Structure 1
Amino acid sequence: MTSRRRWRWRWQHRRLALGLGLYTLLLLLLVSYMLDYGARRGRAGEEELLLLPRRCPSLEEALGEWSWDEQPPGDASQGAAGARGNGTGSEAAAAPGSRAGGKRHVYLHATWRTGSSFLGELFNQHPDVFYLYEPMWHLWQALYPGDALSLQGALRDMIRSLFRCDFSVLRLYVAPPAPRDPLAPFPAPAGGKASNLSTASIFGWRTNKVICSAPLCPDASRARAEVGLIDGAACERSCPPRALRDLEAECRKYPVVVIKDVRLLELGALLPLLRDPELDLRVIQLFRDPRAVHNSRLKAKQALLRESIQVLRSRHRAEPRGLPRRQLLPPPAAAAAALPGGGGIRAHQQHRAEFFLGGALEVICQAWLRDLLFSRRAPAWLRARYTQLRYEDLVLEPRAQLRRLLRFTDLPALPALESFVLNMTRGAAYSSERPFLISARDAREAIHAWRERLSREQVRQVEDACGEAMNLLSYPLNGADGEQRQEDARGRPSAPHQPG
């Protein structure tokens, strides 16, 4: 009996030990399988990562994000469209999708210190044009320090509303003007309340031909159809502020609405508006020699500092688009350290301002490069609604370029306007101490003023940062094969390659 009980106890002990051993073996096999599975998954993931492109997208891929090749709605005849606005000066039928004889809208696409105010003034003088000068300034001031790229969508929506003569969008952004704003209008109403918006809240209103003439201003000394600059002080005295609804009513009377602004960074942001057949939008893009732009920006550095910072903040967001990065000026600390004896506070601030302006010009030149490449691969329907203009060509051939722009916008030519543009570019004055003031001057002499004011190092830095865009615009680099010296002797730069 005792031996049987002992045998049973031993059997149960062995069964328990065997069960524990099998359970342990199962756990070991399971853990080994999971580790092996994880290793195989990791190797597969590494292989997939190796197949992914480890680079920024190419320029062609970056340009494709705007989908140029899509036809605008209602356009079934794109292939037969002419290249009226491709910058070659050739004329063709109305843009595909546009309403012949309907209201037309023109956007002057430019950047700071390119002569855009003068170009806009030519349209301001035309009696068939309702002109708005830089209304998007309000948006940038209200959303400071938002970077230029992130504000493009809001700018586009604002442009759409203004083209439709709906100025209520300004109520979202109008605020008291910045302290150093060179064209600050009337002081804003107490508290800056949007409910008190009037014509005196529109940026540049004191030189606007519609606001400063009848019927909005019955006591105006100059009729709307009379070509000539408006005396801002006289308009301020004679023309009391009017409600925005009165200005909207006047806007609806005009066959052409023109907006000039310098804050839209990329042409591609306008594509939804260009595709809208009800809007019939035409875009004129103005360029200028980047060296002359930099020279002019340095003369007005304090007035442009805030907006230059907003542009500069877009640089890192634009880098993944496949464009090369340039460094136009050294960082502020390094620049100040390079000055004799530390440079002092004022010299340090001076170099800080030049750093921000130089960095912003770098971003602008890269945006120009994208726009130029856009236009070169644009379909026919887009070329019919877009044209390019160099400031140098405008001031050297003012009447010919004016006629081309009027044909592009379907506006009648006026002898008085041709005389105006000639007088404005052949004045006796060389320059102005107020860089934002439009006045008659010898613009031909100002084309190469940068040669006298920029140092050799500044010229080199601008050319390094903007060389690609300058080549596409046919601006010879300084001293390249002696070509530019020959052009200086003739007083005119070489003609640019036009998109075709």
Structure 2
Amino acid sequence: MKRRLHKKYLILILAYSGLLLLIPYVLDYRDKSVQRAGQGFTQQQPRCPQLEHSVALLWDNDEKVNGSDTAGSAVHRSQSRVNIYLHATWRTGSSFLGELFNQHPDVFYLYEPMWHIWQSLYPGDADTLQGAVRDMLNSLYRCDFSVLKLYAGSQNLSTSFVFGWKMNKVICSEPLCPAHKRSDIGLVDEERCAKCQKRDIRELERECKKYPVMVIKGVRVLDLSTLVPLMKDPAINLQIIQLFRDPRAVHNSRLKSRQALVRESIQVLRSKKESDKYKRLLSPVNRMNRADSYVSSAMELICDNWLSDLMLEKNAPPWLKKNYLRVRYEDLVLHPLNELHRLFSFSNLTSFPALERFALNMTHGHGYSSDKPFLISARDAKEAIYAWRERLSVEQVNQVEAYCSEVMRQLGYQKNSMDRATSSADARPLTSI
């Protein structure tokens, strides 16, 4: 009798334990089913693995300031010095955007300093390099350039080591160099700047501390979540300006500069190597056209990261939104004066006629672009915007529109539903954000 009773109790205990183990799976399956049923689009999905964690960090900051929007904003706006990061990706027009700040006499500007990380640690994948990228920004915004020693190797750390130094108005102007005057507006003459004496990096640090605004332009921050810890640090007072561009125009420009972008595209693709989908993208079918395959495949990941950024900003607390500005390349080059005032107002800078004339001249040049992919020069704004319509095939356009559909929708870019024989003059204009 006791044995039977023990067996009954044992069966009940096992059944109860099994039920407890089963409940989480049932609930998880139900949640996933509801999510699948509620998704409205079937092409590009919001693949944002770090989004929930990043937003939680942001709201955690608000809790520390007792949920006060004013207090959260004051943490970032109380200081006189402003640090700005121009958040972009390759071939979006970020060099032109950065040059507008490089020209301003109140701005200390750096062009792609994280290039040193990617070159020194190649072929490290882009994702694993994000920590090093954030650490470098953390040091540079404090005018501590000793972080560059990690990537200098046997080279002496001087002004000539800084990537893009021959285009830098601070390095190529007095007191560091007599080649230019800091107040003069115009592109730096690289040949004249190349003759400048190499100065110790500590002299550049001293100059950095004199400026009320520091701007760093980069394309090697994969997504906005990487910058969240820096935005929360009141000692840095970081603000973000993010530049977007029509994905079809970006793709066209990337293909035009394919050879210069192969290494970076491989590093971006390797950051997603755990996914079967992206493993396929890493193995181009046509080996004779490998550069095109890598550059094209990376475009999909770029749109994924853009979507992640848009979702993070949409769900962010008010203090972050006040420290974040979204800019479209098309608006910047078609309406340069309006956008210039918006950019400088956000950055606590004042515009003036000479700089406004510079912006207008840079957007009213001749042709689509120069033969050198990263050369800053005057362009024909309209040709730069719509060149993809003449240069991409129907298949290429459809491919980009398929895997960038949600990003295009959120940014206001309409799909090219017309027959390609239709004149580009009859094409629908870009919608506003």
TM-score bucket of the superposed structures, by smaller chain: 0.7 to 0.9
How far off its partner does 1:77 sit? 7.4
434-443 vs 108-117, greater mean Cα deviation: 434-443
Q: 1:285 to 1:150 in 2, by over 3 A?
A: same
CA distance, structure 1, for counterparts of residue 263 and residue 282 of structure 2: 19
Deviation sequence 1:236-272 (CA, Å, 0-9, x none): 02x1211111110110111111000001011011111
Aligned ranges for residues 41-56 of structure 1 at < 5 Å? 43=18, 47=22, 50-51=25-26, 53=28
In the other structure, the counterpart of 1:452 is: 390
Aligned: 1:478 with 2:430: no
SS at match of 2:370: coil
Q: Which residue matches 1:188?
A: none
Corresponding residue number in structure 1 for 2:202? 245
C-alpha distance 459-168 of structure 1, shift in aligned 2 (>3 A): same
CA distance 1:448–1:279, shift in 2 (3 Å): same
Contact 1:305–1:353 (Cα < 8 Å) also in 2: yes
Deviations 1:171-192 (A, max 9, x none): 1123xxxxxxxxxxxxxxxxx4
1:126 aligns with 2:104: yes
CA contact (8 A) 1:199 1:205 kept: yes
From 253, 264, 273, the equivalent of 1:296 is 253
1:495 is aligned to 432
Conserved in 1, the CA contact under 8 Å of 2:269 and 2:278?
no
Secondary structure at 1:284 match in 2: strand
**Is residue 2:179 matched to residue 1:201?**
no
Q: For 1:271, which of 212, 220, 228 is the aligned residue? A: 228
Q: What's the counterpart of residue 378 of structure 1? A: 316
Aligned-partner Cα distance in 1 for 2:424–2:186: 33
Change (3 A) 1:268 1:488: farther
Q: Structure 1: state its 5+ residue gaps.
A: 1-28, 82-93, 175-191, 320-324, 337-347
| Counterpart amino acid of residue 253 in structure 1 | K
2:362 alignment partner in structure 1: 424
- Distance change >3 Å, CA 392–CA 491, structure 1 → 2: farther
- The aligned residue for residue 211 of structure 1 is 171
Aligned to 1:463: 401
Q: What is the distance in 1 between the residues matched to 2:211 and 2:168?
A: 14
Greater CA radius of gyration, 1 or 2?
1
CA distance in 2, matches of 1:328, 1:119: 35
Please tell me whether the aligned partners of residues 103 and 256 of structure 1 are also in contact (alpha carbons under 8 angstroms).
Answer: yes
Q: Secondary structure at the match of 2:60?
A: coil
Q: How does 1:165-180 map to 2 (within 5 A)?
A: 165-174=143-152
Deviation per CA, 1:435-490: give whole Å up to 9, x if none. 1100112122110101111111011111111111011001101127x9xx899548
1:141 Cα deviation from its structure 2 partner: 1.4
Write the distance in 2 (CA, Å) between the matches of 1:211 and 1:56.
Answer: 58
Which of 74, 87, 111 is the aligned partner of 1:96? 74
Q: Residues 277-308 of structure 1: CA distance to partner in whole angstroms, max 9, x if unpaired?
A: 22111100000011110111111111111111
Q: Alpha carbons of 1:199 and 1:37: their partners in 2 closer, same or farther (altered >3 Å)?
A: farther
Please name the residue that 1:227 is paired with.
185
Cα pair 1:326 1:362 within 8 Å, conserved: no
How far apart are the structure 1 equivalents of 2:116 and 2:335? 34
Q: TM-score, normalised by structure 2?
A: 0.86
Q: SS at the partner of 2:109?
A: strand
Partners of 1:457 and 1:164 in 2: CA distance: 47
What is the SS of the residue equivalent to 2:28? Answer: coil
CA distance in 2, matches of 1:433, 1:161: 35
Q: How many residues align?
A: 414
Shift of residue 71 of structure 1?
Answer: 2.9
Distance (Å, rounded) in 2 between the aligned partners of 1:149 and 1:291: 24
1:236 maps to 194
Give the deviation of 1:164 after TM superposition.
0.4
Closer, same or farther: CA 464–403 of 1 in aligned 2, 3 Å: same
Identity, in percent, stands at 52
**1:147 partner SS:** coil
The match for 2:59 is 69
Distance 1:73 1:161, change over 3 A: farther
Check whether the contact 1:110–1:285 (CA below 8 A) recurs between aligned residues.
Answer: yes
The superposition leaves residues 375-433 of structure 1 with CA deviations (integer Å, 9 ceiling, x where unpaired) of: 11221101110010000000000010000000000001111111000000001343211
Which SS does the other structure have where 2:404 is aligned?
Answer: helix
Shift of 1:157: 1.2
Structure 1 residue 148, shift from structure 2 partner: 1.7
In 2, Cα distance between equivalents of 1:95 and 1:119: 26
Are residues 171 and 43 of structure 1, via their aligned partners in 2, closer, same or farther at CA, if it must alter by over 3 Å? Answer: same
Q: Is the 8 A contact 2:75 2:234 kept in 1?
A: yes
The residue aligned with 2:344 is: 406
Shift of 1:147: 1.9
Q: CA deviation at 1:434?
A: 0.8
Report the residue type matching 2:118 in the other structure. W
Identify the residue that residue 39 of structure 2 maps to in structure 1.
Answer: none
Q: Does 1:146 align with 2:124?
A: yes
Query: Could you say what the CA RMSD is over the residues aligned between the two structures, in angstroms?
Result: 3.3
User: Within 1, Cα distance between the matches of 2:67 and 2:19?
Assistant: 50
1:78 Cα deviation (Å)? 3.6
Match of 1:112 among 71, 90, 93: 90
Residues 198 and 241 in structure 1, CA contact (< 8 A), matched pair in contact too:
yes
Q: Does 1:349 align with 2:288?
A: yes
Q: Unaligned 5+ residue runs, structure 2? A: 36-45
Q: Is the 8 A contact 1:135 1:203 kept in 2?
A: yes
Letter in 2 for 1:494: T
> Is the contact between residue 62 and residue 69 of structure 2 (CA under 8 Å) also seen in structure 1?
no
Alpha-carbon separation, structure 1, partners of 2:62 and 2:24: 38
Contact 1:78 1:380 in 2 (8 A): no
Q: Give 1:79 shift.
A: 3.0
Opposite residue 217 of structure 1, the aligned amino acid is C
Counterparts of 1:78 and 1:349 in 2: how far apart (Å)? 58
Q: How far, CA to CA, are the matches of 1:277 and 1:146 in structure 2?
A: 31
Q: Which region of structure 1 is more displaced relative to structure 2, 267-276 or 65-74?
A: 65-74
